[in-house]
């Protein structure tokens, strides 16, 4: 916790009226029309939007095992650059995060880096193999206090395994985050199955492979009365099923990535694997459905699925390349472009989709308190009047696989505060000593 006091002057808090906000002893001390404090560092935020610190429920930190593409420390810095104060480390590391030992290691690495809270996600099954449950209880009771369990990267495809997992996590107030991909329908798949894939000669990943798993799992969650979360929804059909499920009171939540709110499968025509991602980019019909679903709350949150990859796994033929895009640093600007500028969400709703709601799903008690006085000072500031051009050579992440290189994005994240410390000032990450 920092001793430093900050006075944020004149920003539009949650997109509302301009106000001053005082940070002291790591907490939000005061929010009112005009504050003066002679000990505080003053930051002029006129014209900017003040949001609660963003919480990512789906991040690939790659450590342990693939530190050549990203580490907990470098991802934390990238998170700060994007306005995040909490990241959720997916379990598909090497070794897999299926024991208390690995999740505690990841948790401690996050604490040491000190830029964000890193909440490890535990694997549902041992080794992500989809057969035996992993040590869910041990991980839940560990220092890392894991509540979100996911085999992401892989689908928990066996219905019996999924049923048992949903039942078992009820004891630990957990949630199963499912990567919905029926493996038998997607063997060797490279991109969305449709008109574009038929022309390009790339094997298709049909939408029903996602929809069929979502349909099965919402019915399972209903039957056993447990919490289900659907990772990276990409299909209009998937959205419809989730809407139906919620109307029946099923405890399902869902996320969408920023790239699926903007990009479509015709980008694959260049055969540039920077657009290769799992689940794949789909059609404009799907993009429209996803935006509407995020607007009406059928999709609860935005999660980045930040997936760093080294350049040799992207600088090659499509079929050889890895799946995934980085996304922490561009997420809020993309949401601004696709949802705020189009009038589908206001900033208060963005705060819900990117901070309050994800924190609630993950049971991250210290986050998502929505800029209330007395809460920990996790704050994100975005200036919507400034646009910026994405340059893959200037990213903070260790990997450069961003699909937006050369794009001009509206809205620049300028400041991030984590527990009252400034982790980013004037769009530059503040490197500092570990706690």
Name the residues that contact other proteins, by CB under 8 A: 193-202, 204, 206, 270-272, 312, 315-320
Length of the chain counted residue by residue: 435
Q: How far is the CB of 280 from other proteins (least distance, A)?
A: 14
Helix (H) or strand (E) holding 13: strand 6-13
Rounded CA-CA distance 163/9 in Å is 51
Closest separation between CB of residue 184 and other proteins, Å?
10
User: Cβ closer to other proteins: 132 or 269?
Assistant: 269
Nearer to other proteins, 173 or 315 (CB): 315
Burial of 259-271, coded b for 16+ CB within 10 Å and e otherwise, reads bbbbbbbbbbeee
SS (H, E, C) 364-418: CCCCCCCCCCCCECCEEEEEEEEEEECCHHHCCCCCCCCCCCCCEEEEEEEEEEE
- CA dist., res. 268 & res. 200, Å (int): 8
Q: How far is the CB of 200 from other proteins (least distance, A)?
A: 6
Instruction: Find the shortest distance in angstroms from Cβ 406 to other proteins.
Output: 14
**Contact in structure between 230 and 252 (CB atoms under 8 Å):** yes
Find the shortest distance in angstroms from Cβ 207 to other proteins. 10
Choosing from 98, 151, 265, 305, the catalytic residue is 305
Which residues have CB under 8 Å from 394's CB, separation 6+?
none
Residues 6+ apart with CB under 8 A from 324: 60, 276, 277, 278, 305, 307, 308, 309, 401
CA pair distance 405, 131, nearest whole angstrom: 40
Let me know if 68 is a catalytic residue. no
Q: Closer to other proteins by CB, 28 or 200: give it.
A: 200
User: Which is closer to other proteins, CB of 207 or CB of 242?
Assistant: 207
Nearer to other proteins, 188 or 249 (CB): 188
Give 193's DSSP letter: S
CB of 74 to other proteins, least distance (A): 25
**Active site amino acids:** 305
């Amino acid at each position: 916790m920092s001793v430093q006091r900050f006075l944020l002057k004149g920003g539009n808090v949650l997109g509302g009226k301009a106000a001053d906000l005082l940070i002291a002893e790591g907490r939000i001390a005061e929010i009112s029309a005009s504050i003066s404090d002679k000990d505080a560092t003053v930051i002029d935020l006129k014209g900017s939007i003040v949001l609660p610190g963003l919480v990512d429920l789906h991040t690939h930190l790659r450590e342990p095992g693939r530190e050549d593409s990203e580490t907990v420390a470098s991802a934390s810095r990238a998170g700060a650059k994007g306005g995040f104060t909490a990241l959720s480390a997916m379990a598909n590391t090497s070794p897999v995060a299926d024991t208390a030992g690995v999740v505690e290691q990841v948790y401690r690495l996050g604490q040491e880096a000190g830029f964000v809270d890193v909440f490890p996600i535990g694997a549902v099954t041992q080794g992500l193999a989809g057969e035996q449950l992993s040590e869910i209880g041990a991980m839940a009771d560990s220092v890392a206090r894991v509540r979100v369990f996911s085999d992401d990267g892989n689908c928990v495809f066996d219905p019996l395994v999924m049923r048992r997992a949903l039942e078992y996590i009820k004891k630990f107030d957990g949630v199963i985050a499912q990567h919905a991909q029926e493996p038998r329908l997607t063997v060797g798949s490279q991109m969305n199955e449709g008109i574009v894939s038929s022309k390009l000669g790339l094997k298709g990943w049909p939408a029903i492979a996602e929809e069929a798993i979502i349909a099965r799992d919402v019915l399972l969650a209903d039957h056993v009365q447990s919490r289900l979360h659907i990772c990276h929804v990409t299909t209009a059909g998937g959205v419809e099923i989730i809407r139906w499920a919620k109307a029946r009171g099923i405890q399902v939540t869902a996320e969408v990535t920023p790239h699926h709110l903007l990009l479509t499968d015709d980008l694959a025509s260049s055969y540039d694997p920077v657009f290769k991602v799992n689940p794949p980019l789909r059609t404009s019909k799907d993009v429209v459905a996803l935006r509407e679903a995020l607007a009406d709350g059928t999709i609860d949150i935005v999660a980045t699925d930040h997936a760093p990859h080294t350049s040799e796994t992207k600088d090659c033929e499509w079929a050889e390349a890895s799946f995934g895009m980085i996304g922490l640093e561009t997420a809020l600007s993309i949401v601004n472009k696709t949802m705020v500028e189009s009038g589908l969400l206001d900033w208060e709703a963005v705060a819900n989709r990117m901070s309050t709601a994800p924190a609630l799903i993950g049971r991250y008690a210290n986050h998502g308190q929505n800029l209330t006085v007395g809460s920990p000072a996790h704050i994100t500031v975005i200036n919507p009047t400034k646009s910026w051009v994405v340059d893959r050579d200037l990213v903070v992440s260790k990997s450069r696989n961003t699909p937006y290189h050369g794009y001009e994005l509206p809205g620049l994240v300028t400041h991030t505060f984590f527990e009252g410390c400034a982790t980013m000032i004037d769009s530059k990450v503040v490197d500092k000593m570990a706690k």
